[in-house]
Structure 1
Amino acid sequence: MPLAEFNRGILLHDWDDPRVAPFVNALAQVNLIAQRTPGFVWRLDDAAMERAQTDPASALGPDPRLASTLSVWTDAPALHHFVFRTLHRAFYVRGHEWFVAETAPRVVMWFVPEGHRPTPDEAADRYARLCRDGEGAEAFGWAWLRAEGHLMEAAE
């Protein structure tokens, strides 16, 4: 069953600050790798995501330092491979250099019907549900996927 994922973080500095440049400058390459990774289905394009992050009427906005991605994958192992076995991992492990330390989850996942493309509002709702209720079938993270048998490999 297809898996939607929404990840988010608040940058420590503005997007044009040199201190976040290694992250910002790698986005296009990492997104291209995602799109070429087996199991990738869809990603909300950059312009639509930026509008959702900066629009005061959006469930995600407005936060000019929010960096997020909304995508769909064929299954959990495909997403896991991209996150932990491609160039993405090098940036994932350096996240503390560019993002505000938060106690809230950085990623929420949920299963979607074939062909469904989640909206930013849907992602914000799933994220809020995970933060409010914890992991369950409607909103979850890597630990829930492993516990439910959707992912045999441990998350890094």
Structure 2
Amino acid sequence: MTDADERYELAQVNIARLKYPLESVELTDFVTALDPVNAVADAADGFVWRLQSDSGNATDVPVFGDTSMIVNMSVWRDEASLKAFMYAGRHRELLARRFEWFERIEEALVALWWVPAGHRPTVEEAEKRVLHLRDHGPTPHAFTLRSGFAAGPGQ
């Protein structure tokens, strides 16, 4: 990592539309796994911050004004750290089951962007990044893991 890279951290947002209410039996495995998976994230190398309410997660944080949508937002040191968490262990197990719990949506619901070190993005900021990605495709302002951009300020 260069000195320039250390001035920035990677923000990510992942928004999903639930197939069932959070209290439903269909989502029991997902809800039960939230705290353990969040604990793994919190302890992961490169983890910086995650959005959470008083519940300890973000399932009750409104996003896009849609009560069937939930948001996961976090900040990581870099893409490698985020990928290492996403594709290993308990998170990978849940990722494999995502279509049991969440609607398949064609439009972008995941976005990444670089933030100045210490900045904690808001849900409003994340919504704008997702909308920008939908409208313009991957750019330094909002991108995906498949289309990453070097650390630095987005446009």
Give TM-score, length-normalised by structure 1: 0.84
Task: Tell me the equivalent position of 1:154.
Answer: none
What is the identity, as a one-letter code, of the residue corresponding to 1:14?
A: P
Does the residue aligned with 1:143 lie in a helix, a strand or coil?
helix
Task: Tell me the equivalent position of 1:104.
Answer: 107
1:6 is the counterpart of 2:13: yes
| 8 Å CA contact retained: 2:64, 2:127 | no
Percent sequence identity over aligned pairs? 32
1:36 is the counterpart of 2:40: no
Task: Tell me the equivalent position of 1:73.
Answer: 76
Shift of 1:51: 5.5
Give unpaired runs (5+ residues) of structure 2: 1-7
Shift of 1:65: 2.0
| 8 Å CA contact retained: 1:110, 1:139 | yes
Question: Which digits, 9 at most, give the CA deviation of each residue in 1:73-111, with x for residues without a partner?
Answer: 000000000000231011011101000111012310000
1:21 is the counterpart of 2:24: no
In structure 1, which of residues 119, 131, 136 is the aligned counterpart of residue 134 of structure 2?
A: 131
Paired residues in the alignment total 142
Tell me, in whole angstroms, the C-alpha distance in 2 between the residues paired with 1:94 and 1:131.
25
Give TM-score, length-normalised by structure 2: 0.85
Tell me, in whole angstroms, the C-alpha distance in 1 between the residues paired with 2:102 and 2:49.
25
Shift of 1:149: 6.8
| 8 Å CA contact retained: 1:49, 1:120 | no
What is the identity, as a one-letter code, of the residue corresponding to 1:98?
A: W
Shift of 1:63: 2.2
